[in-house]
Structures are given as C-alpha cells and as structure tokens.
C-alpha cells in the first residue's frame, strides 16, 4: 500500500509539473528510473528542459517513453527514419523495441545522425513517435554485443516486469528508528581473488563484486553462506566494479539460488563479463570440472543488469545511492561511490584501479563529492612494488621481442582477454609501424579478438587520444593486418607447427587453463622459444610457478599426467599492469579529495596489504585497517 501511494503521489507530481497539453498516460517505477508514458512525445522533444525539471523535482532519474498505442508501424517508421537521416551518417542498422517504444539506429558517424542540438532525433520522435537512440557502428563486429542486444530485445516484456519489481523494491517504505551502516568482508581480503563485500544498513543490503579465485585445487568462491549474506533473496542489488572473473565470476550463481535483484555496472562490463563467463564454462567442461552454474543463469543475470554511465547518481535501494566513476583498469571498470542514508556515510569501493594514463584508458577518478571511508586495492602495494612506466614497458617489450626474433624462436604472451591483450596489441602495432621490430605475424588465440570488438562497440569508454585516432583519423591499430585470429583447433595445430619467429597472444593470462596451455606444452622444451609475462600471476597458478623458474611441470593432457621440461626463455615485462603500483597508489591518496577518515586495504597478498596500510598510517596519518575475510565492520 505504501508503494502504491508513493507511485500515485509521483504520478500527480509529474502531471502537475508538465506544461499544458502534455498527455501523460502512465507513470511507472522501472528499476531506478521514473518512466513517464505519454501520447505527446513531441512536447518533450521540443522542450528538453521538462525532463531535467522533473528529475530535480522528483529527485529521481526520469525517462520518457511514447504510449504504446501511439507508435507507428515499424516498417513505416524505418522508411521515415531513413528519409530523415542524412546520407553522411552512413546508417548500417535500425531495430525496434516495441516493449519500451525505442528505436536504435546504428551509424558509422553518430554525430551526423544526431544532428545539431539533436535536430534529427527530435524529428524522428515527432514523425514516428518512437524514441530514438543512436549508437556507433563498431569497427569490428562483436558477436557478444550483438547477441546480448538481440536477447534483450527478444525478452523486452520479461525485462520490463523485472524492472518494475526492482522499482517496487527500491521505492519500498523504510521503517523509523536509528539507521546504521556496516561492511562485511566475504572474499578478496588479504588475498587476490573471489572479491566480494556486503554493504548493509538497517533497511538494505548491497553486494559489491562476486568473484572466483583461481589457483587452488578447486575454484574458491566468496563466503556467501555467511549469516549476513543470507537469505540471498534479501539482497537488494549487486554492484560489479569490472568484468574480470575474480570480481564477477560467481554472480550467475546468485540467480541459481534465489537472488532476483538488480545488477548494476557499465554496459561494456555487462557484455565483457558475459563473454568471459561463457568461456569459463567452456574451460570447465573441457577440463571435466563441474561448473557452478550454466548459461541459463548467465542469461538471467543479463536480464537483471541495469547499465549505468560514469557520473550518473542512481538510487539502488531505499537509502543507498550509487555513482560509478572511471577506474582506468579495463574497459568499463569503475570505482563505486555509495551515498548511504541522508548523509549518514559515504564510502568508495575502488575496484581494481590504474592511476596512470594508459594506451587505452584515462587514469582513475580521484574526486568525489563526499568521502568518509574507502576500500582500496593493494595488488602492488608492497614496499618493493614499483613498476616501469608505460613508455619503459614498451621499450622493454621491444628488447624482448628483438632478442627472441634474433634467435628465430616463437614467442608466447599469456594475456587476459580484456585489457592487457589490447594494450599489447597497440604496442606491437606501434613497434612494427615505427620499424623498431621486424614485421612479424601475431596470432591471437582465445577470446582476444572478440574482447577487442567489444572495445570498439563502446568508444566512449576509451581515452580521448585513442578515440580520435580510430574515429577521426581512421587509424585503427586493432585492424592492422599483422594480427591473425586463430579461428579453430585446426588452425591452432597449424600455428603450433609453424617455424619462428612468430608471436602468439593467448588466454588465459595465468596459465590456469585455456588455449595458452597448448602452445606452452608444445614449445616449452625449446630454448629458442620465449614466454613473456605481462600480467599479474597469482600464487599457486602455473604462471607463477613458471615465473619463479620451475624447470619442469606435470600437467594433465587428455586424462594423462605428463611431465614437461621447461627450457624456453622466461621473461617478465612489467609496466603493462592495469593495477596501480605502490608509487601510484600513494600518489592517488595524495590527490584524493576529500580525504577519507578510514581506509580499508584489500585485494592483495596479506603482506602487501599490511605493508601498504602501515605506509598510509605513517605517511598520511590515516586510519588504515586490513580486514580479514568474514569480518563485519561498523561504518556509521
């Protein structure tokens, strides 16, 4: 009843604050948004200030959609849209979503499709009644992005029901009495992997990240059976910082066991983590391991995911507001700012972050409106964790490749599909273009090219320099003909028998499975060959063992245990990491504004967490704590 009264009051407020002649047919809470359905969409199109004024009055995000009965036939609407849009926009695709009255236009030049001050969008609204959205045509088609968008359109009615249930939950009544906030550490504390924390208030529960830990006999999961997290049905929402599986890999399991709430993250994170999760299931099947969930749970997660842009403040619970900011780690990665209660507490979960401009991304955000406490990663927070700059990393990789090519050997670069692989591609392309290394074939095995395609689908999440190079100068480093995708197992067998010099970028980055293992098994005994580590190697992973100089490894091959001698050259090229090193972390705290009262240090080996917390106390006088897993800490 409280919800129905609130919705009725909101409807009355909307009708009282729109100009005369605006016909509002319905007002709904769909997820965190107030959705206004109208028969007079043109009034909103003519006066862009209406939505802004309503959002300020309601203190909610507002979306305006056409009344379903007013929509023109899609075939007639498409004909009209193609007449409205100029030829220079180069429209490649148009599709309709009747459930939300939206038409999506893909164009090679979206600015031309939008027009000055949105003139073409306004005209489309007036003539067709459909609400248009313009997206850039990806320079590399992505199967993942296409399938997810098609699935969301196909499931639009189901998704609308989901969003309305979430909207009802967000706008439920909160009881009287003292409010409080606390954090429970469920994974990723004094360790790297299975990142997970629970932010709780008297009225709400928010789960931040829900990852898997690689490197042990079994994939370790967060402590989701802790009393604070149960029952899962009472968790309001999950907020995901970025797509890597150590932060997202167990999220579909929540839906398997009863969670029905929202998942908040950026759109590229949604798409990328879905790709990685499907690959995770394939690897588990190939290794005869039981996976914790199946593809149906991934699909359910996608339907419940509400993508947010950086800088947008959104209500995700009755007393919690979320703002995502750029973390600079991988595509779409975010630091998450939570505003709890009416100024009761403000906390940031940094996620994995990079406080340096990279070839792909801008540095992590260091400005927040309010900040009482922060949970910071410390992957490279130890006393001796200083990394080369990106320029030094480029020069180091050049020297490694030149030496390997002079030996006539093959080069294996184990990479994560997202982030490091794209940066290595950019550097290799640059080295070849400038003549710093001989032109050499580069083969990419695993999900690397698909991940790269997702990058091109979301150019607004790349740094300004790369965006301009790709979309204004027409120089896309990812499309250089030196790069070759390994399409299937037959092609992989061909590459395995090729003489050097060649370069192979292959997943997975820590050699805990994936196609990289095939190359390692075939090439590890030849001293002419080289393996180059460009990313973090967690404890107990095969990658860490090789990096430490093990001279042989016993690995499973088609059910048999085979011992492989390691005679290849082992190189580590630091400086490619998407994590901040110790110097960058300290610089982040020097510039962070406002300064937090309390710092929680996690996402690092135990010694590194303790060392970094000690430095923060000594250098900045901060209260720096190093929680263990399964601690509950009162914030306010």
40 has a pLDDT exceeding 90: no
- Can you give the pLDDT at residue 217? 53
1 has a pLDDT exceeding 60: no
- Can you give the pLDDT at residue 85? 95
- Can you give the pLDDT at residue 296? 96
Instruction: Please state, in angstroms and as integers, the Cα–Cα distance from residue 577 to each residue in 155, 321, 580, following that order.
Output: 38, 31, 8
351 has a pLDDT exceeding 90: yes
SS3 435: coil
Mean pLDDT computed over 266-289:
89
398 has a pLDDT exceeding 90: yes
In this prediction, residue 164 has a pLDDT band, given cuts at 50, 70 and 90, of very high
- Can you give the pLDDT at residue 88? 94
416 has a pLDDT exceeding 60: yes
Mean pLDDT computed over 209-234:
87
Structure confidence by residue, pLDDT tens digits, 547-572: 998 988 888 877 788 999 999 999 99
State the fold for domain 2-62.
Answer: GMP Synthetase; Chain A, domain 3 (3.30.300)
The answer to whether the bond into 508 is cis (omega within 30° of 0) is: yes
As to burial, measured by CB atoms within 10 angstroms (0-12 exposed, 13-18 middle, 19+ buried), residue 42 is middle
SS3 324: strand
| β-strands 530-533, 410-414 pairing | parallel
In this prediction, residue 23 has a pLDDT band, given cuts at 50, 70 and 90, of confident
498 has a pLDDT exceeding 90: yes
- The answer to whether 548 and 533 are in contact (CB under 8 A) is no
| Lookup: tokens for 402 | 């030149």
Q: Which CATH class is domain 390-446+486-572?
A: alpha beta
User: Of 153, 154, 204, 159, which Cα lies nearest the Cα of 30?
Assistant: 159
| β-strands 334-340, 320-326 pairing | antiparallel
Structure confidence by residue, pLDDT tens digits, 321-336: 999 999 999 999 999 9
- Can you give the pLDDT at residue 558? 73
User: Of 356, 360, 363, 359, which Cα lies nearest the Cα of 327?
Assistant: 363
Equal fold, 2-62 vs 71-137? yes
- From 48-62, 292-306, 326-340, the region with the lowest mean pLDDT: 48-62
Mean pLDDT computed over 207-220:
81
Mean pLDDT computed over 147-157:
90
In this prediction, residue 144 has a pLDDT band, given cuts at 50, 70 and 90, of very high
Q: How would you write 103-135 as a 3-class SS string?
A: EEEEECCHHHHHCHHHHHHHHHHHHHCCEEEEE
User: Of 104, 173, 184, 193, which Cα lies nearest the Cα of 536?
Assistant: 193
270 has a pLDDT exceeding 70: yes
- Can you give the pLDDT at residue 50? 82
- Can you give the pLDDT at residue 370? 96
- From 81-85, 98-102, 482-486, the region with the lowest mean pLDDT: 98-102
Instruction: Answer whether 0.85 is exceeded by the pTM.
Output: yes
- Can you give the pLDDT at residue 264? 98
- Can you give the pLDDT at residue 41? 75
- The answer to whether 279 and 298 are in contact (CB under 8 A) is no
Mean pLDDT computed over 126-147:
88
- Can you give the pLDDT at residue 112? 93
Q: In angstroms, rounded to a whole number, what is the distance separating the alpha carbons of residues 241 and 238?
A: 10
| β-strands 410-414, 345-349 pairing | unpaired
46 has a pLDDT exceeding 80: no
Mean pLDDT computed over 25-41:
89
State the sign of the Cα–Cα–Cα–Cα dihedral 103, 309, 273, 573: positive
CATH code for residues 71-137: 3.30.300.20
Mean pLDDT computed over 603-608:
95
In this prediction, residue 236 has a pLDDT band, given cuts at 50, 70 and 90, of very high
Domain 179-260+270-300+325-384+582-634 is of which CATH architecture?
4-Layer Sandwich (3.60)
In this prediction, residue 212 has a pLDDT band, given cuts at 50, 70 and 90, of very high
- Can you give the pLDDT at residue 219? 59
Domain extents for the chain? 2-62, 71-137, 179-260+270-300+325-384+582-634, 390-446+486-572
| 429 CB-near residues (< 8 Å, 6+ apart) | 477, 478, 480, 482, 483
Mean pLDDT computed over 257-269:
96
In this prediction, residue 287 has a pLDDT band, given cuts at 50, 70 and 90, of confident
Q: Please state, rounded to an integer, the average pLDDT across all residues of the chain.
A: 91
43 has a pLDDT exceeding 80: no
Mean pLDDT computed over 469-497:
88
- Can you give the pLDDT at residue 215? 65
- Can you give the pLDDT at residue 101? 84
48 has a pLDDT exceeding 90: no
- Can you give the pLDDT at residue 45? 60
Query: Which has the higher per-residue pLDDT, 218 or 93?
Result: 93
- The answer to whether 492 and 518 are in contact (CB under 8 A) is yes
539 has a pLDDT exceeding 80: no
- The answer to whether 535 and 330 are in contact (CB under 8 A) is no
């Amino acid at each position: 009843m409280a919800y129905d009264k609130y919705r009725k009051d909101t409807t009355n407020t909307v009708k009282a604050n729109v100009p005369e002649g605006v016909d509002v047919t319905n007002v709904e809470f769909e997820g965190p948004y107030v959705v206004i359905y109208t028969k007079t969409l043109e009034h909103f199109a003519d006066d862009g200030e209406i939505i802004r004024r309503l959002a300020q009055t309601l203190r909610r995000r507002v979306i305006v959609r056409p009344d379903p009965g007013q929509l023109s036939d899609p075939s007639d609407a498409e004909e009209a849209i193609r007449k409205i849009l100029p030829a220079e926009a180069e429209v490649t695709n148009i599709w309709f979503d009747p459930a939300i009255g939206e038409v999506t236009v893909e164009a090679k030049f979206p600015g031309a499709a939008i027009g000055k001050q949105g003139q073409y969008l306004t005209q489309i609204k007036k003539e067709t009644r459909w609400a248009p959205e313009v997206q850039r045509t990806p320079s590399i088609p992505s199967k993942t992005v296409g399938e997810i968008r098609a699935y969301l359109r196909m499931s639009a009615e189901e998704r609308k029901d989901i969003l309305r249930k979430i909207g009802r939950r967000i706008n439920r009544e909160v009881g009287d009495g003292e409010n409080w906030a606390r954090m429970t550490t469920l994974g990723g504390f004094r360790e790297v992997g299975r990142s997970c924390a629970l932010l709780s208030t008297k009225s709400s529960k928010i789960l931040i990240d829900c990852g898997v830990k690689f490197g042990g006999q079994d994939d370790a999961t967060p402590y989701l059976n802790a009393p604070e997290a149960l029952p899962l049905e009472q968790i309001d929402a999950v907020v995901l910082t970025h797509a890597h599986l150590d932060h997202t890999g167990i999220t579909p399991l929540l839906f398997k066991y009863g969670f029905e709430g929202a998942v908040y993250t950026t759109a590229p994170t949604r798409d990328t983590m879905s790709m990685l999760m499907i690959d995770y299931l394939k690897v588990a099947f190939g290794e005869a391991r039981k996976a914790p969930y199946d593809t149906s749970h991934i699909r359910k997660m996608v339907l419940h995911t509400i993508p947010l842009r950086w800088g947008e403040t959104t209500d995700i619970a009755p007393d919690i507001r979320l703002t995502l900011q750029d973390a600079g780690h991988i595509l779409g990665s975010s630091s998450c700012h939570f505003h709890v209660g009416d100024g009761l507490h403000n906390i940031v979960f940094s996620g994995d972050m990079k406080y340096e401009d990279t070839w792909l991304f801008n540095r992590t955000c260091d400005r927040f409106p309010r900040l009482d406490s922060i949970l910071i990663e410390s992957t490279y927070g130890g006393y001796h964790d200083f990394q080369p700059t990106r320029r030094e990393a480029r020069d180091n990789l050049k020297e490694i490749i030149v030496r390997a090519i002079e030996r006539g050997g093959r080069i294996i670069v184990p990479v994560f599909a997202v982030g490091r692989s794209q940066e290595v591609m950019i550097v290799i392309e640059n080295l070849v273009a400038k003549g710093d290394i001989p032109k050499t074939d580069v083969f990419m095995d695993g999900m690397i090219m698909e991940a790269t395609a997702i990058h091109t689908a979301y150019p607004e999440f790349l740094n300004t320099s790369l965006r301009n190079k790709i979309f204004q100068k027409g120089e896309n480093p990812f499309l250089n003909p030196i790069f070759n995708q390994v399409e299937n197992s037959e092609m992989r067998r061909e590459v395995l028998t090729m003489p050097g010099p060649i370069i192979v970028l292959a997943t997975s980055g820590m050699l805990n499975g994936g196609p990289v293992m095939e190359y390692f098994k075939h090439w590890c005994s030849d001293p002419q060959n080289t393996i180059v580590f460009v990313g973090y190697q967690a404890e107990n992973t095969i990658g860490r063992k090789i990096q430490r100089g093990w001279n042989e490894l016993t690995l499973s091959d088609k059910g048999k245990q085979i011992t492989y001698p390691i005679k290849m050259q082992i190189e580590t090229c630091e400086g490619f990491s998407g994590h901040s090193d110790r110097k960058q972390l300290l610089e982040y705290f020097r510039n962070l504004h406002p300064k937090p009262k309390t710092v929680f240090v996690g996402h690092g080996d135990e010694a590194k967490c303790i060392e970094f917390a000690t430095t923060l106390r000594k250098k900045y006088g901060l209260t720096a704590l190093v929680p263990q897993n399964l601690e509950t800490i009162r914030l306010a």
